[in-house]
């Protein structure tokens, strides 16, 4: 019988962001206003529609902090140490993850892998190998649903919680960070993450390596303006292939590491950057 590692306890009470708190207040005022003057319904409906448009825009902006805390750049101490974080999403993939791990080993670099739990369950040894080599395995949802931003409170809790249990069971280490599919979310995500003891993490720069087949172009997007504190996004799952059939991430990552070394930057895991 498999053992599920307990989720961390959260003692602090969840506090909504100013935007969410304001939205809750607006809904309450609209309801009170309609009770006081039913003829004012066009104003009430207009305010609610505008508010929902704002919340939708915030959810479609992966680096937004309007819906809650969001680690889009490493904290100041990590920046002062000249650190960056390389994050790799959508795996594990048996054809891509293994050579990516070998490349990281050759360069002496540790990365953060945001794994999809269903893929980790399908390739458990590969998921364990990521952790065994000293990289961080974090939560990228259970099934990577395209409909994730439309899930309600319970749906998101089930999807993220199931992934949390799976990844903890496979690696023996409880994930501490969560990245939603495509970075998209809704106002329910922040209280769910708080309850599960997870921290939302997005990115500073990305290479669009799931759809760009030219590793040089991907690397250029990642290295242009690369600086201490950057969180870089690549993919081992759903990786585009170059003209020679190789996953784009391999050459793009090598070029990224060359650029980081030339600029005196050191790649670390998100955990190390936040904890040190």
Do 107 and 168 share a domain, yes or no?
yes
Q: Tell whether 135 is covered by a domain.
A: yes
Q: Among 9, 29, 59, which residue terminates a domain?
A: 59
Per the CB < 8 A criterion, the answer to whether 155 and 163 are in contact is no
Rounded Cα gap, residues 97 and 94, in angstroms: 6
Q: What is the CATH number of the domain that holds 92?
A: 3.20.20.370
Q: Are residues 132 and 178 in the same domain?
A: yes
Q: What is the pTM of this model?
A: 0.90
Nearest to 55 by CA among 18, 30, 29, 28: 18
Strand ranges (DSSP E) for 103-188?
112-115, 136-139, 177-178
Q: Are residues 207 and 248 in the same domain?
A: yes
Q: Distance between CA 75 and CA 67 in Å, rounded?
A: 19
Domain that holds residue 39: 18-59
Domain end (from 30, 59, 88): 59
Read out DSSP for 143-176?
Answer: S--TTGGG--HHHHHHHHHHHHHHHHHHHSS---
The answer on 186 and 103 residing in a single domain is yes
For residues 32 and 150, state if they share a domain: no
For residue 1, being part of any structural domain is answered with no
**Cβ proximity of 182 and 176 under 8 Å:** no
Q: Mind listing the pLDDT tens digit of every residue in the chain (276 residues)?
A: 344 455 555 557 888 888 888 877 867 776 777 778 787 667 667 777 787 777 688 788 899 998 999 999 999 999 999 999 999 999 999 999 999 999 999 999 999 999 999 999 999 999 999 999 999 999 999 999 999 999 999 999 999 999 999 999 999 999 999 999 999 999 999 999 999 999 999 999 999 999 999 999 999 999 999 999 999 999 999 999 999 999 999 999 999 999 999 999 999 999 999 998
Q: Is 130 found in the same domain as 234?
A: yes
Q: Are 138 and 130 in contact (CB under 8 A)?
A: no
Number of domains, the chain: 2
Q: How many CB atoms lie within 10 A of CB 227?
A: 13
Residues 84 and 206 in one domain: yes
Do 45 and 100 reside in the same domain of the chain?
A: no
Question: Does the bond joining 92 to the residue before it have cis omega, within 30 degrees of 0?
Answer: yes
* Number of DSSP helices (H) and strands (E) in the chain, helices first: 11, 8
Same domain, 171 and 252: yes
């Amino acid at each position: 019988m498999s053992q599920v590692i307990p989720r961390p306890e959260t003692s602090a009470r969840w506090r909504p962001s100013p935007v969410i708190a304001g939205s809750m207040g607006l809904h309450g005022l609209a309801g009170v206003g309609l009770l006081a003057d039913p003829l004012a319904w066009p104003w009430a409906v207009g305010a609610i529609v505008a508010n929902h448009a704002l919340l939708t825009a915030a959810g479609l902006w992966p680096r937004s902090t309007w819906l809650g805390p969001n680690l889009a750049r490493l904290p100041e101490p990590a920046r002062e140490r000249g650190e960056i974080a390389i994050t790799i999403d959508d795996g594990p993939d048996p054809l891509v993850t293994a050579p990516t791990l070998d490349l990281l080993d050759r360069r002496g670099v540790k990365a953060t892998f945001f794994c999809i739990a269903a893929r980790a369950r399908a390739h458990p040894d590969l998921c364990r190998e990521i952790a065994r080599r000293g990289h961080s395995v974090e939560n990228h949802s259970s099934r990577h649903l395209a409909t994730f931003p439309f899930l309600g409170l319970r749906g998101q809790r089930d999807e993220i919680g199931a992934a949390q249990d799976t990844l903890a069971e496979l690696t023996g280490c409880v994930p501490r960070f969560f990245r939603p599919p495509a970075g998209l979310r809704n106002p329910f995500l922040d209280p769910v993450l708080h309850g599960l003891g997870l921290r939302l993490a997005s990115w500073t720069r990305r290479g669009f390596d799931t759809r760009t087949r030219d590793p040089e172009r991907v690397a250029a997007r990642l290295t242009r303006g690369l600086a201490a504190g950057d969180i870089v996004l690549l993919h081992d799952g759903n990786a585009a292939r170059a003209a020679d059939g190789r996953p784009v991430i391999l050459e793009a990552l090598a070029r990224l590491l060359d650029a980081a070394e030339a600029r005196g930057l050191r790649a670390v895991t998100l955990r190390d950057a936040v904890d040190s």
